[in-house]
C-alpha cells in the first residue's frame, strides 16, 4: 500500500519533470483536477450517505489510523478542490512571465510543490489523526515553503520563507506534543480519542496545546506574524491557495476539537470563551492593521487574519450558546463560521488573483504607485470589485450571508438572555470589524483601481490573458451563487453543522430558510432597483446635455495626479487612533513646517506589527548575548580545547560516582 502510493507519487512527479516547459502546467492541472474530481466525488458520497472509509493502516508511532471522509472533511474537501483547480489554471499565465528567468527544473519543482500541497491538504482533512495527520501536515508545510520560495533570487523572499518555516515548526511541535500527550493517556492518537481524553484527564492543557498548534497555521493572534511576511513574498496564486485554503486547515483542527467536547457543558463553555476572545482580538487586530498597509498583498494578508477572527467569533458564539443550552445559537454560530470559511476561500482567492494580475503587469505591489487601473484592466477591476463588496460583507454577495448568520446567533443570545454580555461583546467587535473592513477595502480598491495613475507604469498595463480571467471566474461564480441563493447554499452547511454539534439540522433549516429566502429576494430586488435607477437615469439624460470635463479642483486649476489622496493619507485618521498597535519604521525625512519652499524629499514609512517586535525582538537579542558569551570559549588554541574535553570527562566521572548520572 505504501509502496503503491510512493510509486504513484514518483511517477506523477516524473511526469511533471519530463513534460516540456510549457506543458508542465497542464500536467499539474491534470493531476490536480483528477484529485479534485475524486475528492468531490468522495465528498458527495459522504454527504448523501454516511462516512466513507478509504484505508486503514498501522503507523510506526501511534498504532492504527485510517483515512476516511466524514461530513466535516467533505466540506473542506470541496473548498480545497475548487480553490486548487482555480489556482492551477491561474498559475499558467502567472508563471509564464518567469519561464525565461528560471530553469525548467525550478518550474517543475514549483508545480510539484503545488500538487503536493493540494494532495497533502486533502490528506490532512481525511486523516483520522496521529501520525498520518502529522505527516500530511508537515508535507503541507514543506510544500508551501517551496512554493513561497518561488522567487528565491530575492532576499526578502528567502527571509520570509525561512521565517514561515520556523514559525510552522514551532506550531508543529505543539501538535506533536499534543498528539503524544493524547497517545500516552488514551493509547490512541486519533481525533476520536480526544473525547475520551477530555473525560478522564485535565482537558484544558491538551486543548490549549493543540489550539496553539492549529492557531499557528490559522494565524490566530499573536501567532499571525508569518502571514503578512509570507504573502507578499509568495507568487499570487500561491498566496491565494495558502490564504484561501491552507490556513483553514487550522480552523478544521479547531472544529475537530470542538466536536470532541460536545457533551461536556462546562468545558465547552470555557473553550467557547477562549475561542471567542481570541477571535475578537484576532479580528480587530487583523482589520486595523490591514487598514494601515500600503502594500496590496500585506493588506490582503492582514485581512485573512481578520477573517480567521470572524470565523473564530462564529465558533465561539456557537460553543458558548450551545453550552448555555440554546441549540439555535449553536447552529447559527457554527453555520455562520463554516459558511464564512467557504466564503473567505472564494473571495480571498479572487482578491489574490487580482493582486497577481496587477503584479504581473506593474511588477510592484506598492499601492501608492498605482491608480486608475480600472481603465486599463476593466475585467480584473470588475472581478476585484465583486470580491471587495463580498469581503466587506455587503449585501447582496456571499460575505454578508455568513456574517448575518453569526449576527443572528448573537442577537438571539441577547434577546433570549443567554450570556448577554458575551454576545454584546461579540456584536461590538463584529460591527467594528465590519466598519473598518469597509475602510480597508475602499482604500485598496480606490487607490489601486480608481482615480488617475500615480506612476507611468500604469499606462503601460493591459488586461491579462483569458485563461487567468476564466480561473478567476470560478470563485466569482460561487460568490454570486452563495450571495444570491443562500437558501440553497446553506443546506450542505447545516448538514455538516449537525454532524459537529449533534443538534438536528432541521432546527437550522426551519430557522434559516425563511430568512435566507427573503434575503435572496432582497438581493435580486437590490440589483433590480439599481439597474432600474441606472436605466431611468440614462434615459432621462439622453435628451439632456451631458458633458465631460476635468475633475473639479475647487478653484485650483493646476491640478496634477500627485495631489491625489494616497493610501497612507486615506488611513491617517484610523492611524491616529490605533498608533499603539504599530511600530513605524521611517526612511528619509518628511517635509518640516519651517520649509516654505520644500525641495524634493524621499520619505517612506512602513507600519509594522508591534507583535512582530515583541515576539521577534527580545529572544534574538538574548540568543545573541548567549552566543557572545559562548564564543569566548572559542579561543583557537588546541591545548585549551583539550582541557575542555578533559574537564568534561572528569565532570562525567564525578557525576557518575556521585550518582546523578
Partner 1 sequence: MLIKLLNTLLMIAVAISITGVINRTRAVWAGRKGIRFFQHIYNVELQMRKGAVYSTTTSILFRIAPCVYLGAALLAFLFIPVADLEPLLSFHGDIILVAYLLALSRTALILAALDTGSSFEGMGAAREALYGALVEPALMMGMATLALFCGYSSFAEIFSMARDLDMNLTVVLVLVAYVFVVIMFVEAGRVPVDDPRTHLELTMIHEVMCLDYSGIDMAMIHIAGWLKNSIFAIIAANAISVAFCFHWWFAAPLAVLGTGIAIGVVESFRARNKLSRNTTFILTIVAMSALVLLTGFLLIQNIEI
Residue pair 148/230 in contact (Cβ under 8 Å)? The answer is yes
Nearer to partner 1, 33 or 452 (CB): 452
- Does 588 interact with partner 1 (rule: CB under 8 A)? no
- Does 514 interact with partner 1 (rule: CB under 8 A)? yes
**Among 577, 596, 599, 628, interactor with partner 1 by CB under 8 A:** 577
- Does 34 interact with partner 1 (rule: CB under 8 A)? no
- Does 551 interact with partner 1 (rule: CB under 8 A)? yes
Closest CA relative to residue 295, chosen from 610, 606, 611, 613: 606
- Does 451 interact with partner 1 (rule: CB under 8 A)? yes
Minimum CB–partner distance for residue 367 and partner 1 (Å) = 12
Instruction: Mark 132-171 with x for binding to partner 1 (rule: CB under 8 A) and - for no binding.
Output: ----------------------------------------
Q: Could you tell me the CA-to-CA distances from 613 to 122, 305, 606 in Å, in that order?
A: 35, 18, 14
Closest CA relative to residue 177, chosen from 136, 147, 207: 207
- Does 569 interact with partner 1 (rule: CB under 8 A)? yes
- Does 400 interact with partner 1 (rule: CB under 8 A)? yes
Minimum CB–partner distance for residue 425 and partner 1 (Å) = 10
Minimum CB–partner distance for residue 231 and partner 1 (Å) = 24
Q: Which three cell numbers stand for residue 69?
A: 471522509
**Among 563, 645, 646, 655, interactor with partner 1 by CB under 8 A:** 563
Question: Which listed range, 75-83, 269-277, 381-389, 481-489, lies at the site for partner 1 (CB under 8 A)?
Answer: 381-389
Q: DSSP letter at 244?
A: I
- Does 581 interact with partner 1 (rule: CB under 8 A)? no
Question: Which listed range, 167-175, 431-439, 595-603, 643-651, lies at the site for partner 1 (CB under 8 A)?
Answer: 431-439
**Among 66, 169, 375, 583, interactor with partner 1 by CB under 8 A:** 375
**Among 170, 265, 526, 649, interactor with partner 1 by CB under 8 A:** 526
**Among 547, 594, 631, 639, interactor with partner 1 by CB under 8 A:** 547
**Among 235, 309, 371, 492, interactor with partner 1 by CB under 8 A:** 371
**Among 52, 439, 499, 611, interactor with partner 1 by CB under 8 A:** 439
Minimum CB–partner distance for residue 312 and partner 1 (Å) = 19
Minimum CB–partner distance for residue 148 and partner 1 (Å) = 32
Question: Cell 439555535 appears where?
Answer: 328
Residue pair 493/338 in contact (Cβ under 8 Å)? The answer is yes
Nearer to partner 1, 164 or 445 (CB): 445
Do the bridges between strand 582-588 and strand 603-609 make them parallel or antiparallel, or are there none, so unpaired? antiparallel
Q: Which three cell numbers stand for residue 10?
A: 514518483
Q: Which of positions 633-652 make contact with partner 1 (CB under 8 A)?
A: none
**Nearest-angstrom CA–CA distance, 291 and 303:** 9
- Does 108 interact with partner 1 (rule: CB under 8 A)? no
**Nearest-angstrom CA–CA distance, 17 and 32:** 16
- Does 394 interact with partner 1 (rule: CB under 8 A)? yes
- Does 589 interact with partner 1 (rule: CB under 8 A)? no
Residue 101: CB atoms within 10 Å: 10
**Nearest-angstrom CA–CA distance, 575 and 239:** 26
Nearer to partner 1, 229 or 575 (CB): 575
- Does 565 interact with partner 1 (rule: CB under 8 A)? yes
For residue 558, what are the contacts with CB-CB under 8 A and spacing of at least 6?
none
**Among 546, 596, 633, 658, interactor with partner 1 by CB under 8 A:** 546
**Nearest-angstrom CA–CA distance, 605 and 588:** 9
Minimum CB–partner distance for residue 578 and partner 1 (Å) = 11
- Does 436 interact with partner 1 (rule: CB under 8 A)? yes
Q: Could you tell me the CA-to-CA distances from 207 to 61, 175, 499 in Å, in that order?
A: 21, 10, 21
Angle CA 273–276–279, to nearest 5: 145
Nearer to partner 1, 565 or 641 (CB): 565
Closest CA relative to residue 340, chosen from 317, 389, 307, 387: 307
- Does 505 interact with partner 1 (rule: CB under 8 A)? no
Closest CA relative to residue 450, chosen from 386, 377, 361: 377
Residue pair 214/282 in contact (Cβ under 8 Å)? The answer is no
**Among 550, 588, 636, 659, interactor with partner 1 by CB under 8 A:** 550
Nearer to partner 1, 119 or 289 (CB): 289
**Nearest-angstrom CA–CA distance, 38 and 319:** 33
Q: Tell me the three-class secondary structure of 400-457, residue by residue.
A: HHHHHHHHHHHHHHHHHCCCHHHHHHHHHHHHHHHHHHHHHHHHHHHHHHCCCCCCCH
**Among 79, 427, 496, 497, interactor with partner 1 by CB under 8 A:** 427
Q: Which residues pair with 67 in a beta bridge?
A: 55, 127
Q: Supply the angle between the helices 486-501 and 248-261 in degrees, to the nearest 10.
A: 50
- Does 97 interact with partner 1 (rule: CB under 8 A)? no
Q: Which three cell numbers stand for residue 522?
A: 432582497
**Among 554, 596, 631, 633, interactor with partner 1 by CB under 8 A:** 554
- Does 428 interact with partner 1 (rule: CB under 8 A)? yes
**Among 561, 590, 635, 643, interactor with partner 1 by CB under 8 A:** 561
How many residues comprise the chain? Answer: 661
- Does 23 interact with partner 1 (rule: CB under 8 A)? no
Q: Which residues pair with 68 in a beta bridge?
A: 53
Closest CA relative to residue 612, chosen from 222, 306, 239, 278: 222
Nearer to partner 1, 6 or 488 (CB): 488
Residue pair 510/503 in contact (Cβ under 8 Å)? The answer is no
Question: Which listed range, 4-12, 79-87, 234-242, 573-581, lies at the site for partner 1 (CB under 8 A)?
Answer: 573-581
**Among 163, 395, 465, 481, interactor with partner 1 by CB under 8 A:** 395
Amino acid at each position: 500500500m505504501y509502496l503503491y502510493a510512493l510509486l504513484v507519487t514518483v511517477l506523477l512527479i516524473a511526469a511533471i519533470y519530463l513534460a516540456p516547459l510549457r506543458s508542465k502546467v497542464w500536467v499539474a492541472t491534470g493531476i490536480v483536477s483528477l484529485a479534485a474530481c475524486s475528492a468531490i466525488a468522495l465528498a458527495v458520497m459522504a454527504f448523501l450517505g454516511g462516512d466513507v472509509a478509504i484505508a486503514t493502516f498501522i503507523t510506526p508511532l501511534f498504532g492504527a489510523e485510517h483515512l476516511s471522509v466524514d461530513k466535516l472533511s467533505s466540506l473542506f474537501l470541496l473548498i480545497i478542490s475548487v480553490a486548487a483547480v482555480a489556482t492551477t489554471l491561474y498559475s499558467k499565465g502567472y508563471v509564464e512571465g518567469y519561464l525565461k528567468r528560471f530553469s525548467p527544473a525550478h518550474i517543475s519543482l514549483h508545480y510539484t510543490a503545488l500538487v503536493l500541497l493540494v494532495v497533502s491538504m486533502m490528506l490532512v482533512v481525511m486523516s483520522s489523526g496521529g501520525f498520518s495527520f502529522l505527516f500530511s501536515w508537515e508535507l503541507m508545510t514543506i510544500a508551501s515553503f517551496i512554493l513561497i520560495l518561488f522567487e528565491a533570487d530575492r532576499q526578502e523572499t528567502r527571509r520570509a520563507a525561512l521565517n514561515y518555516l520556523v514559525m510552522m515548526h514551532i506550531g508543529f511541535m505543539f501538535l506533536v506534543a499534543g498528539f503524544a500527550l493524547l497517545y500516552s493517556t488514551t493509547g490512541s492518537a486519533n481525533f476520536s480519542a480526544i473525547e475520551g481524553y477530555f473525560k478522564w484527564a485535565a482537558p484544558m492543557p491538551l486543548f490549549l496545546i493543540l489550539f496553539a498548534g492549529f492557531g499557528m497555521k490559522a494565524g490566530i493572534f499573536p501567532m499571525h506574524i508569518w502571514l503578512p511576511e509570507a504573502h507578499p513574498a509568495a507568487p499570487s496564486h500561491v498566496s491565494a491557495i495558502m490564504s484561501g485554503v491552507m490556513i483553514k486547515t487550522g480552523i478544521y483542527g479547531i472544529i475537530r476539537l470542538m466536536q470532541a467536547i460536545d457533551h461536556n457543558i462546562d468545558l465547552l463553555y470555557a473553550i467557547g470563551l477562549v475561542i471567542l476572545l481570541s477571535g475578537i482580538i484576532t479580528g480587530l487586530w487583523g482589520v486595523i492593521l490591514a487598514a494601515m498597509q500600503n502594500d496590496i498583498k500585506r493588506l490582503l494578508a492582514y485581512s485573512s487574519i481578520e477573517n480567521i477572527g470572524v470565523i473564530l467569533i462564529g465558533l465561539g458564539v456557537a460553543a458558548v450558546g450551545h453550552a448555555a443550552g440554546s441549540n439555535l445559537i449553536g447552529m447559527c454560530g457554527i453555520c455562520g463560521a463554516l459558511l464564512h470559511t467557504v466564503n473567505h476561500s472564494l473571495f480571498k482567492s479572487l482578491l489574490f488573483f487580482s493582486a497577481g494580475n496587477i503584479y504581473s503587469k506593474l511588477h510592484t505591489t506598492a499601492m501608492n504607485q498605482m491608480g486608475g487601473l480600472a481603465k486599463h484592466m476593466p475585467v480584473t477591476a470588475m472581478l476585484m470589485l465583486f470580491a471587495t463588496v463580498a469581503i466587506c460583507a455587503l449585501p447582496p454577495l456571499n460575505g454578508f450571508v455568513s456574517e448575518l448568520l453569526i449576527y443572528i446567533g448573537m442577537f438571539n443570545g441577547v434577546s433570549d438572555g443567554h450570556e448577554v454580555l458575551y454576545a454584546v461583546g461579540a456584536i461590538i467587535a463584529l460591527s467594528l470589524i465590519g466598519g473598518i473592513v469597509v475602510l480597508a477595502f475602499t482604500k485598496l480598491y480606490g487607490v489601486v483601481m480608481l482615480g488617475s495613475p500615480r506612476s507611468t507604469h500604469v499606462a503601460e498595463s493591459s488586461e491579462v490573458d483569458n485563461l487567468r480571467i476564466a480561473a478567476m471566474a470560478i470563485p466569482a461564480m460561487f460568490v454570486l451563487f452563495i450571495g444570491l441563493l443562500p437558501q440553497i447554499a446553506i443546506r450542505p452547511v447545516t448538514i455538516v453543522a449537525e454532524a459537529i454539534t449533534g443538534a438536528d439540522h432541521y432546527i437550522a433549516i426551519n430557522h434559516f430558510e425563511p430568512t435566507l429566502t427573503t434575503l435572496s429576494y432582497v438581493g435580486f430586488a437590490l440589483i433590480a432597483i439599481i439597474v432600474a435607477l441606472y436605466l431611468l437615469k440614462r434615459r432621462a439624460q439622453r435628451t439632456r446635455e451631458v458633458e465631460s470635463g476635468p475633475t473639479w479642483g475647487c478653484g485650483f486649476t493646476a491640478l496634477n495626479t500627485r495631489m491625489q489622496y494616497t493610501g497612507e493619507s486615506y488611513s491617517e485618521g484610523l492611524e491616529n487612533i490605533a498608533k499603539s498597535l504599530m511600530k513605524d519604521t521611517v526612511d528619509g525625512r518628511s517635509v518640516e513646517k519651517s520649509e516654505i519652499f520644500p525641495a524634493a524629499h524621499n520619505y517612506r514609512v512602513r507600519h509594522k506589527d508591534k507583535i512582530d517586535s515583541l515576539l521577534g525582538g527580545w529572544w534574538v537579542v538574548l540568543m545573541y548575548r548567549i552566543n557572545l558569551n559562548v564564543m569566548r570559549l572559542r579561543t583557537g588554541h588546541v591545548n585549551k580545547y583539550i582541557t575542555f574535553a578533559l574537564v568534561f570527562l572528569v565532570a562525567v566521572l564525578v557525576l557518575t560516582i556521585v550518582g546523578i548520572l
